[in-house]
Copies of this chain bind each other. A is one copy, B any other.
């Protein structure tokens, strides 16, 4: 693959799809790039550019066919098969994320949960069976889980990440505020809430 696609483009495609699914439900058949742009907070040029990357093409008169575009994006994002995911750390955040996805069409199905707390192990929480952290490697391999979500405290995140990697997980979404040191063939995306909150605070202060 000579032209690597950027994570930003992937993110926007995901947003387009979400919006398109909504519009489809509302019975919208076609739309123009500037409409999709307005709906997602982006410019029309950006939208056209992104659709170019996945090779989708609309007509100048009607714009883009909602359903076709939706399918095209889905094919592109999901590739061939769906990914399976696991949540590590069933605190409030873990539960929030689990509760967030059932309804939503997404390219990841969260199928398992892990925690150290023996009181949670064996139970079914927000629809997913909960296992002990020590079983992670085995279960991940058994279920063929490829995406891990880390919602544990910072001090255990690295150990948990390493177990995920041993379980053959290829991508990690990390909410713990630590830099994970992992083999470079594992894709890591950090979501550092406190960092982002500080960004907001900074710019709020400017806007006096």
Contacts and interface: CB of A to CB of B under 8 A. Distances in A.
A85 B197 contact: yes
A204 B106 contact: no
A14 B200 CA distance: 11
A108 interface: yes
Contacts of A196: 11, 173, 189, 191
A44 interface: no
A41 interface: yes
B95 A199 contact: no
Given A92-B95, A194-B106, A207 B39 contact: no
Contacts of A194: 14, 18, 100-101, 104, 106
A85 B15 contact: no
Copies of the chain in the assembly: 2
A192 interface: yes
Contact of A170 (B7, B96, B193, B204): B204
A56 interface: no
Interface string A74-104: 0001111101010000011101110111001
Contacts of A81: 205
Given A191-B191, A191-B196, A194-B101, A205 B83 contact: yes
Closest 5 CB pairs of A and B: A171-B204, A92-B96, A93-B96, A41-B179, A187-B203
Interface of A: 7, 10-11, 14-15, 18, 39-41, 77-81, 83, 85, 91-93, 95-97, 99-101, 104, 106-108, 146-147, 149, 169-173, 177, 179, 185-187, 189, 191-208
